[in-house]
Structure 1
Amino acid sequence: MPCQFRRSTRGSSVLIGSVLLIGLVVVVAAAVGAAAFDAADASPTPTRPTALSLGVSGDTLSLTHEGGAPLDVDSLAVRISVDGESLAHQPPVPFFSASGFRPGPTGPFNAAADPRWTVGETATLKLAGTNDPTIEPGATVTVRVFDGDTPVAALEATAS
């Protein structure tokens, strides 16, 4: 009886080894395929260009959405500099009251407004006297708008 047990064990080990090897190949192939599909889905979708314009009058900045896809203000970051020097306080759009800015921005920069900034809408904000540097007539004001880490626009205007 012991001899018969040995013979069946030898035949089983070859069969079990083959099944395990095939199973391992199938699992690896599935993992590689899933990774390839994830990489294809993760590629960024091209976005349509967005056109914004900037107007500066005194301490008031007006940004108008001139064309392109609507922007989600909740995901935007706005960075302002005057004559190449960044403001001490940057606007946390959207907001109602923020350090370095007068309360109550208008348009989509106001926290109570619709966060979708569409073509034709103008967002305004006013610098407070507590922000530095101040905007003097003739100063060059640069506004950079980002959607997350992606630049949307770099605008420049001369203050009047």
Structure 2
Amino acid sequence: MRNRIGRTERTESTASPGSGVGSRAIAPIGVVLLLAIGTVLAGTVATAAFGATTAVPDGSPTTVAIDATAERDRITLTHRAGDPIDVRDLEVRIRVDDEPLARQPPVPFFSAIGFRSGPTGPFNAASDPDWVAGESASVGVAETNAPRVTPGRTVEIELLVDGRRVAHAEAVVKPG
């Protein structure tokens, strides 16, 4: 723009060419949009995280994923994913080379015929009975139980709640 003397004056505009809106008005709209997107994402993550631990409508637990390892006479199960399991409602069935143990572990327990005293994790009666993802539980099978849990044999573990199978795993017994 030229002034009366013939010099060019510089003027600064806060408006974008042809927009009719000042550039400063765009910032609050952007902040509001970012907050809205962040809130929606946080709600989605919270729903996924906390919704994953609910029981199905009929009250029975969903299937869980477990891993099994066996070393000498000790069988260890790790809850990898799924709903928490109250071990007071849990039935554990163990088979060795397709033959069921004569005595099955009465979880939770501390001392039981056919098993070494002091199971670990939620299988121990003194522990929190809720078995959650990431936790391990183990039992030691006594020599008085049959068939014997010895290196090279295959151990198969089945978990049931209310007679319904919720998990299954197997492992080959390793020497200790």
Matched residues in 2 for 1:78 and 1:45: separation? 20
- Runs of 4+ in structure 1 off by over 3 angstroms are 45-49
What is the deviation of 1:46?
7.2
User: What secondary structure does 1:54 align onto?
Assistant: strand
Q: TM-score, normalised by structure 1?
A: 0.70
Secondary structure of 1:103 counterpart? coil
Is 1:58 the counterpart of 2:72? The answer is yes
Displacement of 1:148 in angstroms is 1.5
What is the deviation of 1:49? 3.2
Q: Which amino acid aligns with 2:148?
A: T
2:23 corresponds in structure 1 to: none
8 A contact 2:110–2:124 mirrored in 1: yes
**Counterparts in 2 of 1:116 and 1:46: CA distance versus 1, 3 Å:** closer
Query: Whole-Å Cα distance in 1 between the matches of residues 62 and 167 of structure 2?
Result: 12
Normalising by the residue count of structure 2, what TM-score does the alignment of the two structures yield? Answer: 0.64
CA distances 1:81-122 after superposition (whole Å, capped 9, x unpaired): 100111111000000000000000010000010000011110
Encode CA deviations 1:22-61: one digit per residue, 9 max, x unaligned: xxxxxxxxxxxxxxxxxxxxx7357543111100001000
**What residue number does 1:159 align with?**
173
1:127-146 maps to which residues of 2 (within 5 A)?
127-146=141-160
Match of residue 124, structure 1, among 122, 130, 138: 138
The reply on whether 1:69 has 2:83 as its aligned counterpart is yes
In the other structure, the counterpart of 1:49 is: 63
Q: Which residue of 2 aligns with 1:148?
A: 162
Tell me if 1:106 matches 2:106: no
Q: Which runs of 5+ in 2 are unaligned?
A: 1-56
TM-aligned CA distance change 1:102 to 1:48, over 3 Å: same
**CA deviation profile, 1:121-147 (whole Å, cap 9, x unmatched):** 100110111101111211010001001
Contact 2:61 2:85 in 1 (8 A): no
CA distance in 2, matches of 1:139, 1:99: 22
Corresponding residue for 1:13?
none
> Is 1:82 aligned to 2:96, yes or no?
yes
Secondary structure, in 3 states, of the residue corresponding to 1:74?
Answer: helix
SS of the residue 2:144 aligns to: coil
Cα contact 2:62–2:166 (8 A) shared by 1: no
Identity of aligned residues (%): 48
* Paired residues of 2:63 and 2:167 also in contact (CA < 8 A): no
Structure showing the higher helix proportion among its residues:
1
Indicate which of 108, 111, 123 corresponds to 1:94.
Answer: 108
Provide closer, same or farther for how the CA distance between residues 46 and 106 of structure 1 changes in structure 2, counting only shifts above 3 A: closer
How many residue pairs end up in the alignment? 118
Classify the secondary structure of the residue corresponding to 2:119: coil
SS for the counterpart of 1:108 is helix
